[in-house]
Amino acid sequence: MQFAVGLAQALIPALLMNIYIVGLNQISDVKIDKVNKPYLPLASGEFSLKMGIALVISSAILSLSMGTYIGSRPLLWALVVSFVLGTAYSIKLPFLRWKRSAFAAASCILAVRAIIVQLCFYLHMQSFVFGRAFALTKPLVFATTFMSFFSIVIALFKDIPDLEGDRFFGIQSYTVKLGQERVFWVCIQLLIAAYGVAMAVGVSSAFLWARFLMVLGHIILAATLWYHASMIDLKSKAAITEFYMFVWKLFYAEYLLIPFMR
């Protein structure tokens, strides 16, 4: 019960903060999304701009209010840093809108997805929920390192389907600079390398069952990735977008394996 409550305390405000970050990005990118992603709620006209703004503001307020009320410092830090970086990433203000820079955009995603989420959520459960002292565990180090690889891939891959709109509106993504095919295969190679490292770390476990699950699980994920990558038509925007959503499925699938790291 204590675990379930602590998990809910982290997930609900984090979900609300994610709505804020994604929503703010869509509000800032309505014109670009009409070219790149015309099916999105604001770009398609399904939501009005006023409705989008109201949803984004209320999500941010609810998220930060919940984080403050819960009283977990690590959780509140995660929410505040995500809010700041998510705002800097999208909002059109002087010295901000960091998504215009490929490096700054990738750094924001890496900081939140790979570092803040892993460390702060771990500290929330370890220190606030269970009252234990901080310990730099093998699963924590593995999760942070592995998700750093994955976050870089997501930061690179998210722009591959958006080449046309990004080029037109002056967004200097790596896809605009290097081309879709080159960035695509860099992403695949990074993920395959990450899965290889994960298998090597898994083999180092002192527990036979952990070695078996970590190696077999990552072999399956790597093989599935390679199969889908070899079948993709890089000239099809729909196929690239579908593959990007598949990469997110691999991202969340990794969280099913991390608990078995010993």
- Range in 53-57, 171-175, 188-192, 198-202 with the lowest mean pLDDT: 171-175
Mean of pLDDT values over 146-172: 82
Here the tokens at position 19 are: 């709505």
Query: Cα dist. 39→30, 64, 247 in Å?
Result: 11, 30, 20
CB 199 within 8 A of CB 254: no
Residue 66 has a pLDDT of 96
Whether pTM > 0.95 for this model: the answer is no
pLDDT band at 88 (very low <50, low <70, confident <90, very high): very high
pLDDT at 150 over 80: yes
Can you tell me the distance from the alpha carbon of 59 to that of 77, in angstroms, rounded to the nearest whole number?
17
Count how many residues are written for the chain. 262
Angle (CA) 129 84 78, round 5° = 10
Here the tokens at position 129 are: 């929920």
CB 113 within 8 A of CB 154: yes
Mean of pLDDT values over 150-162: 85
pLDDT band at 36 (very low <50, low <70, confident <90, very high): confident
